[in-house]
Amino acid sequence: MEINRNNIKSSSAIFKKLIPNDQIKDVLEVVNYAVTVANEYGNDKWGITLKSNYIRLNVGKIEVLTIYPSLLHLILDFKSITDESFSIKELNIFPGKNEFTEPIYKSVKNSIACNIEYKSVREYFPKIKESFRNLIINAAKTTIHNMTSNAHSPAAIKYCSYILDKPMPQPLYYQNENDQDTKLNINEGLREGEQNQILTNVHERNQIARKACIEYYGTNCFACGLNFEKFYGEIGINFIHVHHLEPLSENPKEHVVDPIKDLRPICPNCHAMIHRNKDRLLTIEELQLLIKQ
């Protein structure tokens, strides 16, 4: 099977091949949890690799999660595993508590393996969630291999985000291959607000910042949750507005914008409602309350 790591349909075919439909959300919730923790503690230290017979999440040097045709393989932190979890046969933690003598990975002390069948993930993953988190935090302290970043599948993240209907981050090093001139380095800062005189002064919006916001939060409206691809199909893929929490008109000078702290994806309708009263813009939270009424 030919795999295109940048194509959502190609990525989804691998997930569907490996995971039964009735269990796919349970497994992807674990993936989302792992990616969220990895991104928090090392946003340039992780990547997802697609193969025809498995899907793997690497954090630093460690293969922390692997999706196989019948089970989920996880690496845990030995010291964080409870006695109860060791005794649960569905978790299949190995080696056992009394047999553990050295880590699975020498670069991360206390690393130990666990296999969970998909049918048991929803019930038993919470038992080892904290141990899994601690392992990922420690793995993020190790150096990422170039093969991980080179093989990362952005489409796999987008597919998971689509199925779970929630935003998921991409690693910091990720660069959309269709936008070779927009490589993002948030640490350098992204400037907005420079004025070009046409007939009136127009505040320039930094397109790199816009793309970085969408890569981080996804394309669901932050206020009402609308996803244009789900609602309209292919024509709605990647369509969304981006809202400045602080309007550019209130900060007219050129300034540094943080695409994660300062921007949010918003659908056109919600965006219009936020800006309808020119004297006082609604916050996203205020609009959410109106939507719930």
pLDDT at 200: 32
Residues in the chain with pLDDT values less than 70: 1, 175-207, 248-255
pLDDT at 13: 92
- pLDDT for 145-155, tens place per residue? 999 999 999 99
pLDDT at 185: 44
CA-nearest of 118, 114, 122 to 89 is 114
pLDDT at 8: 85
Whole-model pTM over 0.95: no
d(CA 155, CA 5): 6
Alpha helical stretches, state H, 5-117: 8-18, 24-41, 83-87
Q: How many helices (H) and strands (E) does the chain have?
A: 10, 12
